[in-house]
Each structure stands twice: as structure tokens, then as C-alpha cells.
Structure 1
């Protein structure tokens, strides 16, 4: 087996993780066809685990099956993107109004996510920075203790990251990752302060239509 090949314990889980990471990095990009033969050869797997992985990724909205044309990376219309951002904003504001003051465990989760973000920024890994941003915001929403709300919010952010993936290289040239760390540190301070109005003010300045910034 080639060094690049995937192996047990779970080919499906590993394939989902690796392929989703590639998609969220912007390679392959939205609308690009995923050729099974190429992927199975590159990953060193058979078609059965790949097809199951593609089915699971379709459930998450990262890929879509097109009749008689195979599978491609999902695309989002401008309306889709606006609606996703609106949903994100509604869920965040609901949590801020109901989940504060945060528990010590909840604040600890936020600090772990912020630490991961800082490490990724230092390493210059834009994809890991974006993933850490997502994990931080999910941890904020998890403060409400509502598992269904948290799952819906996490799925919303992943789709937004899919939309933003095409801009990762441009972001790397124009945005300084440490700036994002500082903004999230201010958000953590506001959450720790337990003031809903203060948290909402930080979120408003966080960028209502910018996920990676």
C-alpha cells in the first residue's frame, strides 16, 4: 500500500475526515466533480468505503449527487449564503441571551479553542485557523446546553466554511491570522464577563458577514 493510503480502523471515517478537510480547504472547489477512480487510487481504498463517505458528506451538505453526472462539491447560491448567515446570527443571539453567565467548564472549552487558533495562526495554517474559529463559535453556542441547537449551529458554520473555502488563499494574502485571534480573545473576555449586551456588541463588531475574518 502506498504511504499516502488510508488504513483501518475505519476507512469510512478516515475518508470522511480527509475528504471533508480537502473540500473545506477549497481544493476541490465548489461544483467540481469528484472522480471516484482518482480518489480511490489516491487514498488507497476501494469504492465501497468511498461511496459511504460521500453519502455521509452529502448529508452534511458538502457534496451533492447529480443524476447521471456523479458527485460534485456542493455549491451555494447568494441566497443560500445570506440565509446561512442569518441563521447563524439568530442562533448566536439566542444563546447569548439565555446561556450567560457561562460555567467554568464552558469557559475552559473556549480557552482550549482559542489556544488551538493561536497555534494554527503561528503555524500559518489558514485551514486550521478556520476550523479553530468554527470550534470556538460552536463552543460559545454549546454554553446553552442544548445539543440540538449546537448540532444545527455546527452544521450551519460548516456550510459557511464551505462557501469561504474558495477565499482561503486570498485571505492568506490580505488578512493577518493573529488579528482573528485577538478578536476571539475579546469575545472570550466578554463571555467571561457575563454581560449579554457586551457579548452582542463584540459579535456585531466581529463581522456580521465575515466568518474567517
Structure 2
């Protein structure tokens, strides 16, 4: 009996997960732009679900910074001001520079997490899967910061990435459209090469060069 009651809950949860996955893929994969309105009636028809799981999915996506609820206007893809985007990128860069200096202040750090994220990015770029590219890109930066071994630093850095993940994905999308899908991979390969070299100043220089691709409204 204990397994019967949760069935409906699991089915409902799976619909929420489905909606979250579909919307995340559309938003981060380039199907929607910042500020674009999301109409519930259209989404329920396209996904074949009721409003209850859709609204729960939208609530979760709002927590992730991908959508926002606008009073009397419904839900739209999240948007930030140009100043907010610039400032968040600046904070990200400061945290990553600190993480690099900390990581190389003692024994040589284990780069396996960074390597794995880059391999995932490269494979996703070959497939042309923009959502997976964006996810691997985020994991690459998180892995670099994780080298410092500071949980609070990683949590703070992660919260910043959460706010600008849509804009990072948009950067990668525009770069791929202009220069090909491998361009972003090559920039991150340069960062990994510098990490392997073990000179924190070279790593920071590579990150700064890598960061030159900034969001253009």
C-alpha cells in the first residue's frame, strides 16, 4: 500500500520535471530570448500537461533565474539590465581570480573536474546541443572555482552564475553563430592549458582573455 499512494505524486512530479527540462532547453538552447513572454495556454497545449505542473515548473525556473513573474503581465524569460549583467560578470571574474590564487598557493590542484567539463563541452559542441554546451560551460567555471577548496566561495560563485546563466548561454550561442561552435571550446582549452602550466598569473590572463566575449544586448 505504501507504494500505491505516491504514484500520483510521482506522476505529477515527473510532469513538472518534464516541463522544467523542456523550458530550460528552449531558453538556454536559444529558443527564447530575455524578456520574451511565456503564455501558459500555449505551453500547456505544447507540453500536453495541465496548468498545475506547468505553474510549479515556472516557479522552479524562477528560482533558477530563468524566468520571472511580472505583476498583471504573467511570466517572461528573465531579463537583467545592462548594468546588472556587467556587474555580475565582474563579480564572477573577481571570485574566479581569487579562487585561482588560492588553488595554487599550496599543492598542485586536481584538474579532473575541469577536464571532464571541457570534454563535455567539446562533445556537446560537436553535437550542436546548445543546452549541453551551456551546462558544460557553467560546470567548467564551477570546477575552476572548486579548485580553491572553499565551499562558501563555490556557493557564492554558483549563485552568481545562476543569475547570469541565460546571458552566458546567449554569449555562447552568438559566438557559435558568428565563429562556429568550436570557438568557445578553444577559449576554454586555453584556460585549461594555463591551469596545467601551474602559473596562476597565466591562468588569470587566460580567464581575462576568455572573458572578453561579453554580452551585447
| TM-score (normalizing by structure 1) | 0.83
Cα distance between partner residues in 2 of 1:21 and 1:152: 25
**Is 1:82 matched up with 2:82?**
no
**TM-align CA RMSD:** 2.4
Partner of 2:117: 113
TM-score by length of 2: 0.81
Partner residue of 1:180?
Answer: 184
Q: Does 1:132 align with 2:101?
A: no
After superposition, the Cα gap between the structure-2 partners of 1:140 and 1:48, relative to the gap in structure 1 and judged at 3 Å, is: same
Q: After superposition, give the CA deviation of every residue in 1:107-147 in whole Å (9 maximum; x if it has no partner).
A: 11111111111112222334432332222111111222333
1:42 counterpart = 2:33: no
Confirm whether residue 201 of structure 1 aligns to residue 205 of structure 2.
yes
* 1:38-87 deviation line (CA, Å, top 9, x unaligned): 11221122222211121121122211111122111111111111111111
Task: Tell me the distance in 1 between the aligned counterparts of 2:117 and 2:168.
Answer: 20
- Once residues 117 and 169 of structure 2 are traced to their aligned partners in structure 1, the CA distance between those partners, rounded to angstroms, is 20
Q: Relative to structure 1, is the Cα distance of residues 142 and 34 closer, same or farther in structure 2, using a 3 angstrom cutoff?
A: same
The offset of 1:96, in angstroms, is 0.7
| Other-structure match for 1:69 | 73
More off after superposition, 120-129 vs 89-98 = 120-129
Instruction: Give the aligned length.
Output: 203
Return closer, same or farther for 1:37/1:22 CA change in 2, 3 Å cut-off: same
**Structure 1's 167 and 146: CA in aligned 2 closer, same or farther, altered over 3 A?**
closer
1:127–1:168 contact (8 Å) kept in structure 2: no
Where do 5+ consecutive residues of structure 1 fail to align?
1-6
State yes or no: 1:23 paired with 2:30.
Answer: no
2:31 is paired with a residue whose SS is: coil
- Please state how far the C-alpha of 1:160 moved relative to its aligned partner: 2.8
| Pairing 1:103–2:116 present | no
Contact 2:175–2:184 (CA under 8 A) maintained in structure 1: no
- Tell me, in whole angstroms, the C-alpha distance in 2 between the residues paired with 1:24 and 1:102: 34
Alignment CA distance shift 1:13-1:146 (3 Å): farther
Higher CA-based Rg: 2
Inter-partner Cα distance in structure 1 for 2:121 and 2:169: 17
> Alpha carbons of 1:22 and 1:154: their partners in 2 closer, same or farther (altered >3 Å)?
farther
Q: CA–CA distance in 2 between the matches of 1:99 and 1:77?
A: 33
Deviations 1:20-52 (A, max 9, x none): 221122322221221112112211222222111
